[in-house]
């Protein structure tokens, strides 16, 4: 039987994060350093300093790197609390892509790589990017289409390729790059490199629906970029395996953060429905609006249960790839339904930036595409089910 009882110490930490977000982070939501491509690095560092002063910086990281070594269930509690503001995960330094990259480096990187990159990353001294997705006809949802290449030349690999929708590209210091190593014994491989290395350029920043990630989403080119062989992450040819080490938990942590955002939108809509008058009573007393609020409560409750169950499985040492796909599809769609209803309840006000609801609506809509669109996850879920049925 799964026990979802939250230990008192974790409950206290969740409450600390909720208080921090409400008291110190939400007031920054109208800061002029917030733009269409996310908060500036100056603002990000300012928020990180506030979190650090409260002992809340990168709580997911291992204690040796200054974090609290949270379990996956612990992350579910803390990341939801952080997600109550779009700036909360930025402040706590538990936002994508850095949070997923920290997890990958802790799991796979050598001690030398950890000292060089993981330590500064956990301390929020640097930001990182994960360079896997490519424009057509390269790899997107199908990693088998990977076009970026890496050719061994003496002590280096020479990397060529083009990546896009690379979150945080502007201002990042570290890149984790996926490329196909040519020749026998090669295959998809991950490399670590400084973004300042010769041959790496950010071509442009894309204008996207969302606007909460520092550095935006960029197109990044690798043109005869030389990466020393000792900067291979893990082993040559195991890049796709390591991608799953990163992506399965990362899908779930997205669900956790957007759960907090959906709760914020619901709270705003609920408060509005309780005071806005129409046709002789409050909006919430009208069945149409009341039912929307009830449906929000149902979707939020079931999303939280999906997150907690998958987190529990991961904490038991299970891969939970199937379950993380289930949670990702359900949460991304349920949380969007919540945001959509909240816009509707707020009426004209929901279309404006007077509340954070319109941003939450935009941000959560994007979640149904990144980290694997719902259709690809449904296909993977069905394939897993059929394999199991045949085995039985």
Whether the per-residue pLDDT at 1 is higher than 80: the answer is no
What per-residue confidence (pLDDT) applies to 5?
81
The per-residue pLDDT for range 115-170, each reduced to its tens digit, is 999 999 999 999 999 999 999 999 999 999 999 999 999 999 999 999 999 999 99
Give the pLDDT of residue 248.
84
Tell me the residue ranges of DSSP E strands in 101-168.
128-131, 149-153, 156-167
The vertex-153 CA angle with 149 and 155, nearest 5°, equals: 115
Please answer whether residues 91 and 50 qualify as being in contact, where contact means their C-beta atoms are separated by less than 8 angstroms: yes
pLDDT of residue 326: 97
pLDDT tops 70 at residue 299: yes
Q: Going by DSSP bridges, is the β-strand pair 217-228/200-206 parallel, antiparallel, or unpaired? A: antiparallel
**Could you report the per-residue pLDDT of 329-367, keeping only the tens digit for each?**
999 999 999 999 999 999 999 999 999 999 999 999 999
The Cα 128–Cα 230 span in angstroms is 19
Is residue 37 scored above 70 in pLDDT?
Answer: yes
- List of domains in the chain: 8-95 (1.10.540.10), 128-237 (2.40.110.10), 240-391 (1.20.140.10)
Position 2 pLDDT exceeds 70: no
Instruction: Report the pLDDT value the prediction gives residue 26, as an integer from 0 to 100.
Output: 98
Per-residue pLDDT, averaged over 283-288, amounts to 97
Residue 320 · residue 13 · CB < 8 Å: no
The first and second tokens of residue 126, run together, are: 């640097």
56 close to 94: Cβ distance less than 8 angstroms: no
What is the spatial distance between Cα 251 and Cα 254, in angstroms, rounded to a whole number? 5
Distance from C-alpha of 165 to C-alpha of 145, rounded to nearest angstrom: 16
pLDDT band at 69 (very low <50, low <70, confident <90, very high): very high
Question: pTM of this prediction?
Answer: 0.96
User: Is-cis flag, bond preceding 97, omega within 30?
Assistant: yes
Residue 227's pLDDT band, with cuts at 50, 70 and 90, is very high
Burial degree of 29 (CB within 10 A; 0-12, 13-18, 19+): middle
Residue 320: the pLDDT is 87
Q: In the structure, what pLDDT confidence band is assigned to residue 31 with cuts at 50, 70 and 90? A: very high
State how far the alpha carbon of 272 is from the alpha carbons of 29, 267, 298, 345, 376, in Å: 20, 9, 19, 8, 37
Burial (CB < 10 A; 0-12, 13-18, 19+), residue 352, is exposed
Q: Stretch 65-73: mean pLDDT, rounded? A: 97
Say what the pLDDT of residue 392 is.
Answer: 85
Q: How far apart are CA 222 and CA 49, in angstroms?
A: 33
Mean pLDDT of 288-295: 98
* Percentage of the chain modeled with pLDDT above 90: 95
Identify the pLDDT of residue 281.
97
Q: What is the distance between the terminal CA atoms of the chain, rounded to a whole angstrom?
A: 24
Q: What was the pLDDT predicted at 194?
A: 98
pLDDT beyond 80 at 292:
yes
């Amino acid at each position: 039987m799964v026990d979802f009882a939250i230990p008192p110490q974790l409950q206290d930490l969740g409450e600390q994060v909720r208080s921090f977000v409400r008291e110190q982070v939400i007031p920054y939501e109208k800061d002029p350093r917030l733009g269409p491509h996310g908060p500036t690095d100056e603002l990000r560092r300012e928020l990180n300093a506030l979190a650090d002063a409260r002992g809340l910086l990168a709580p997911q990281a291992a204690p040796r790197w200054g974090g609290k070594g949270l379990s996956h269930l612990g992350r579910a509690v803390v990341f939801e609390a952080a997600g109550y503001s779009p700036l909360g995960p930025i402040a706590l330094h538990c936002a994508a892509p850095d949070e997923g990259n920290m997890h990958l480096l802790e799991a796979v990187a050598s001690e030398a790589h950890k000292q060089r990159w993981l330590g500064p990353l956990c301390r929020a001294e640097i930001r990182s990017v994960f360079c896997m997705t490519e424009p057509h006809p390269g790899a997107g949802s199908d990693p088998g289409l990977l076009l970026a290449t890496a050719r061994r030349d003496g002590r280096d690999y020479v990397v060529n390729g083009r990546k896009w929708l690379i979150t945080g590209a502007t201002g990042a210091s570290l890149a984790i790059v996926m490329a196909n190593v040519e020749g026998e014994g090669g295959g998809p491989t991950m490399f670590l490199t400084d973004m300042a290395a010769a041959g790496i350029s950010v071509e442009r920043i894309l204008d996207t629906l969302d606007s909460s990630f520092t550095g935006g989403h960029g197109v990044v080119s690798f043109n005869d970029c030389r990466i020393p062989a000792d900067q291979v992450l893990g082993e040559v040819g195991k890049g796709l395996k390591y991608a799953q080490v990163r992506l399965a938990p990362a899908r779930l942590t997205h669900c956790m953060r957007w759960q907090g955002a959906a709760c914020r939108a619901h709270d705003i809509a609920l408060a509005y429905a309780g005071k806005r008058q129409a046709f002789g009573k409050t909006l919430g007393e009208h069945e149409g609006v009341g039912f929307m609020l009830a449906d929000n409560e149902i979707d939020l409750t079931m999303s939280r249960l999906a997150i907690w169950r998958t987190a529990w499985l991961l904490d038991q040492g299970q891969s939970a790839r199937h379950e993380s796909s289930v949670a990702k599809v359900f949460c991304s769609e349920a949380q969007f339904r919540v945001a959509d209803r909240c816009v509707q309840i707020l009426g004209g006000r929901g279309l404006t930036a007077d509340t954070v609801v319109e941003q939450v609506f935009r941000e959560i809509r994007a979640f149904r595409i990144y980290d694997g669109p719902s259709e690809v996850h449904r296909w993977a879920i069905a394939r897993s089910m059929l394999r199991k049925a045949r085995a039985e």
